[in-house]
Amino acid sequence: MTHNKTNSSGAYTNLKALLALRFEARGFSFHPRQLMRNPLHGRYAARLRGRGLNFEELRQYQMGDDIRNIDWKVTNRMRKPFVRSYTEEKERASLLLVDQRTSMFFGSQRQMKSVTAAECAALIAWRMISEGDRVGGIVFGDEGLQEYKPHHLQSTLVAFLRGIEKTNQALSLSSPPATTPCQMAHALQEAGRLTTHDQLIVLITDLSGWSAQSYKTATGLAQHNDLVVLHVVDPLEAQLPTQGQMPVSDGVLQMELDASKPKLRTEFARSFETRTKAISQDLAKHGVAVVPISTAQEVAPQLRQAFGHRKMKR
């Protein structure tokens, strides 16, 4: 794996690479109303609320109107069916929470988790801007975070991408251990301060350090907003290779594991699966989708598979 900081397909990303992803930001959407026109829409889109609705008018029922919009009080009074007409808000605010902590500075194949997270954020941001929405974000590392309030201007988006670049390129294997282990919970709390209701919040993280406080804050946000978790995973975290001795570290301590032992590999895989499944199931109770994103594959196709249009088979 390369460690050239001008190369986005390795250890680090850069502004040029994130800007170029604008041309890959297609074939997926976080607007369920648009996706529902296709019966084979993305796997997770049906859980999204979409933009808020504004009451437009009360009018007499016409053939083709949604019967769920019938105003029964007025219908009974007027002796004719009346429906309430709504229009979708012209824009929606989206907030992207991008994890750039030291735990993300890991990758065994194509690129680091931190680069994958950065690319996810850039692709989604470009897509939301193209759909007329306001986009902002929170970039959080081990020691702090940067906030970017949602806006429809591309200059705000570029500033957000610069913030990702800066935090990403500051990552290093020699970085000292975090002094604020609850940084993700803090980022979620700040997201609550920046949002109101009916907004889209996307948390892009490896879920390292997920805590009871993280869960409490996340589910609180999900009560009035669409919350999606993009779980960035490296294949080596889910399954050990069959090779012999290999070093592992938590950023502070390092030890050797004998990966040639089948029992160890099985327990390792089971531990990862159990933890991930528990978090996903807990969040699913509150309508939050946890979507896996692999570092071993290009990001854009994965987003299209999860949230994209699929052509119907003939």
CA dist 126 → 20, 98, 204 (Å): 10, 15, 16
Topology of the domain covering 15-49+91-307: Rossmann fold (3.40.50)
State the Cα–Cα distance between residues 151 and 180, nearest whole angstrom.
29
Residues 6+ apart with CB under 8 A from 65: 83
The pLDDT of residue 275 is above 90 = yes
List the single range of 118-122, 175-179, 264-268 with lowest mean pLDDT: 175-179
List the single range of 42-46, 113-117, 163-167 with lowest mean pLDDT: 42-46
The residues with which 38 forms a beta bridge, in sequence order, are none
| Domain positions in the chain | 15-49+91-307, 53-88
92, 134 contact by CB (below 8 A): yes
pLDDT, mean over the chain? 83
303, 242 contact by CB (below 8 A): no
Residue with tokens 């052509």: 311
Residue scoring higher pLDDT (132 or 311): 132
Structure pTM?
Answer: 0.79
pLDDT at 55: 61
The pLDDT of residue 35 is above 90 = no
